[in-house]
Structure 1
Amino acid sequence: MAESYTAHVTSHAGRNGFVRTSDGKFDLKLGTAKEGDEEGTNPEQLFGAAYAACFHSALKSIAKSKKIDASHSQVTAHVTLHSEGKEYHLSVEMEVTVPDLEEAQVMELAEAAHQVCPYSKATRNNIEVKLKVGTPVPK
């Protein structure tokens, strides 16, 4: 298999440190996993951002191949960090919204995207990923 791209991201000091890409385009302070933490973003938010963007690209590609307009679609990744004693694991709810499509059509696109998205492939059988159809926000 040919390599298309390799990202180089280094963590310094773990969850309470920072992460930086080798090209310097990405340099973020990290904080603990709390909603609205003023110290910085956290790994769950970063994972959610990457997964949502990748999943959304897969969804738009599939929609285009089916001649479906998904130009105003959006994907929200709800990433949850679970703890069981000293053990931790993740789950994701992928919420997909495509204006002007029936719920069944949106779910069909989401399921197809889930089959081809590289993040979905990487997480398959490793973490629970649920697909959900979101409600379009009125324009």
Structure 2
Amino acid sequence: MKTLYSTKATVTGGRTGNASLEDSDLKINMVAPGSGEEGNNPEQLFAMGYAACFDGALAVVKKMEKASFGSTTEASVSLLQGDGHDYNLAVKLHIIAESTDLSADEFQKLVEKANEVCPYSKATHGNIDVEVTSEVKS
């Protein structure tokens, strides 16, 4: 495979530190989930990245299938704790189609194809629980 893009993130201080990107002026104050402090946590950033990646994969499928619709992808990411230090993530993706003549079943099939194309979906497959649902708004 050829590399289309690479980036490098640097974090100092873990969940309560600072994050920056090598190729951007983006700098993020990292805060623990639920702390009430101003900043962001890894789960929020993962949710945004996954939603953007999935919606992009859906655009590729839309083009391949010559379908017509607008889409919104929502990603809910949960940080789970089992016994002791047994931490896991769970993701719920909900994809909404707008401005389309596709049925709910037809759209769901396109969503399933996008799930096979999306790099985030490939990376998480078999590693964390991911639930994918869809709806068509009229």
Closer, same or farther in 2 for the Cα pair 1:14/1:135, shift >3 Å? Answer: farther
User: What's the offset of the Cα at 1:102?
Assistant: 2.3
Closer, same or farther in 2 for the Cα pair 1:134/1:25, shift >3 Å? Answer: farther
Question: Is the 8 Å Cα contact of residues 107 and 136 (structure 2) preserved in structure 1?
Answer: no
Runs of 4+ in 1 over 4 A off after TM superposition: none
SS of equivalent residue, structure 1 residue 59? helix
SS of equivalent residue, structure 2 residue 2? coil
Closer, same or farther in 2 for the Cα pair 1:33/1:135, shift >3 Å? Answer: farther
Give the match for residue 80 of structure 1.
78
CA distance in 2, matches of 1:27, 1:134: 35
Question: Is the 8 Å Cα contact of residues 54 and 117 (structure 1) preserved in structure 2?
Answer: yes
Question: Is the 8 Å Cα contact of residues 75 and 95 (structure 1) preserved in structure 2?
Answer: yes
CA distance in 2, matches of 1:107, 1:135: 9
Please provide the CA RMSD for this pair: 1.7
Instruction: Determine which structure has greater relative contact order: mean sequence separation of CA pairs < 8 Å that are 6+ residues apart, divided by chain length.
Output: 2
The amino acid across from 1:66 in the alignment is E
Give the match for residue 24 of structure 2.
24
Question: Is the 8 Å Cα contact of residues 96 and 106 (structure 1) preserved in structure 2?
Answer: no
Closer, same or farther in 2 for the Cα pair 1:103/1:34, shift >3 Å? Answer: farther
Question: Is the 8 Å Cα contact of residues 79 and 93 (structure 1) preserved in structure 2?
Answer: yes
Question: Is the 8 Å Cα contact of residues 75 and 96 (structure 1) preserved in structure 2?
Answer: yes
Percentage of pairs with the same residue: 35
CA distance in 2, matches of 1:54, 1:133: 16
2:38 equivalent to 1:39: yes
Aligned residues: 135
Of stretches 126-135 and 77-86 in structure 1, the one that deviates more from structure 2 is 126-135
Question: Is the 8 Å Cα contact of residues 62 and 110 (structure 2) preserved in structure 1?
Answer: yes
Give the match for residue 69 of structure 1.
68
The amino acid across from 1:56 in the alignment is D
SS of equivalent residue, structure 1 residue 74? strand
SS of equivalent residue, structure 1 residue 75? strand
Give the TM-score normalised by structure 1: 0.89
CA distance in 1, matches of 2:15, 2:24: 19
Give the match for residue 115 of structure 1.
116
